[in-house]
Amino acid sequence: MLQNPACGCRAPVLPSRFLGTSPRQIPMDANFHSTSFLGADQQRVLITGGLGQLGVGLANFLRKRFGKDNVILSDIRKPPEHVFLSGPFIYSDILDYKNLREIVVNNRITWLFHYSALLSAVGEANVSLARAVNITGLHNVLDVAAEHGLRLFVPSTIGAFGPTSPRNPTPDLCIQRPRTIYGVSKVHAELMGEVSIVRQVQIFHEAVKNGRFECNLKPDTRLPMMYIDDCLRATLEVMEAPAESLSMRTYNINAMSFTPAELAQEVLKHVPEFQVTYSVDPVRQAIADSWPMNFDDSNARKDWGWKHDIDLPELVTTMLNFHGSENRVAQAN
């Protein structure tokens, strides 16, 4: 279950986030960065699709680094009041190339985080719109970034892999044959530039609130995961990495990999009465079985010093503490 970061709470999400792969070798002198790079204290940041899964959390994170007024959140939807008041927010339609150029020029943008996309379920229901947003929109962003010498970050997804991809571990470069328009568009994005994404689970909320959880996957289904703070830090670190240290444009990043049964065992250490039942959804199980079980992120660790901070025990403690305090506030109210 995906939670909207626009809820007003600190983003207590459990993501699996990946800088995806490309099936062809990238030249050793490949470069994310513009040669007109400014000092870190001078960055002007634009985030497209800012009301989606990661945008609000990323904006808050970057504003602590670069200042509130230097990080602009954008979307085509009206933001909640607390988001609007937290820092600059503007309307931006990535399919409107002229509007995108005006935003970059008028606000002296130097870094662009492109999060606008239609995800799997919505994309499959409207393939033509998904092609427009995920591919044409990407091309507009790439053209603007090239024209104005921007550093550009484009997230990919675990859905960019398919059943023929190696699953344990999944290297940076391998076969990718996704089965959804979202996955196909993200492979296209990887081949055009650079890439990551987030997924989260509801188990912690249910453990604190109800003491039980029904899982729709088999207990031994292994998937890679990452805590949101590690995800946001990795996003900033790869953007700030020296261009000469990057040997490729597309990186995996990994933190932990576990099964529902392993997660439930860790939760039981904190909530002894917790109960898990399994009601396998064949559709979700088939999707999970086509995804990587673990990612080989040795290139990211070697090239730009990537290292995650949060493992499964720390993750469970943090998430249960958050949802416990959230539940107590709700009861008080």
Strands 223-225 and 256-258 turn out to be: antiparallel
15, 14, 12: which is closest to 321 by C-alpha?
A: 12
What SS3 class is residue 35? coil
| Token pair of 25 as six digits | 């070798």
**Catalytic residue flag (residue 91):** no
- Omega before residue 292 within 30° of 0, cis: no
Alpha-carbon distance of 287 to 178, in angstroms, equals: 10
Cα–Cα distances in angstroms (integers) from residue 85 to residues 29, 72, 81, in the given order = 42, 12, 6
Residues 6+ apart with CB under 8 A from 222: 168, 257, 258, 259, 293, 294
Q: From the candidates 91, 97, 115, 182, which is the catalytic residue?
A: 182
36, 14, 66: which is closest to 266 by C-alpha?
A: 14
Instruction: Calculate helix-pair angle for 312-332, 260-268, nearest 10 degrees.
Output: 60
End-to-end CA distance of the chain: 25
Amino acid at 117: A
Q: Exposed, middle or buried: residue 318 (CB in 10 Å: 0-12, 13-18, 19+)?
A: middle
CB atoms under 10 Å from CB of 266, counted, come to: 16
Q: Please compute, for residue 242, the number of CA atoms within 13 A of its CA located in the half-sphere on the CB side.
A: 5
Fill in the DSSP letter of residue 191.
H
Catalytic residue annotation: 182
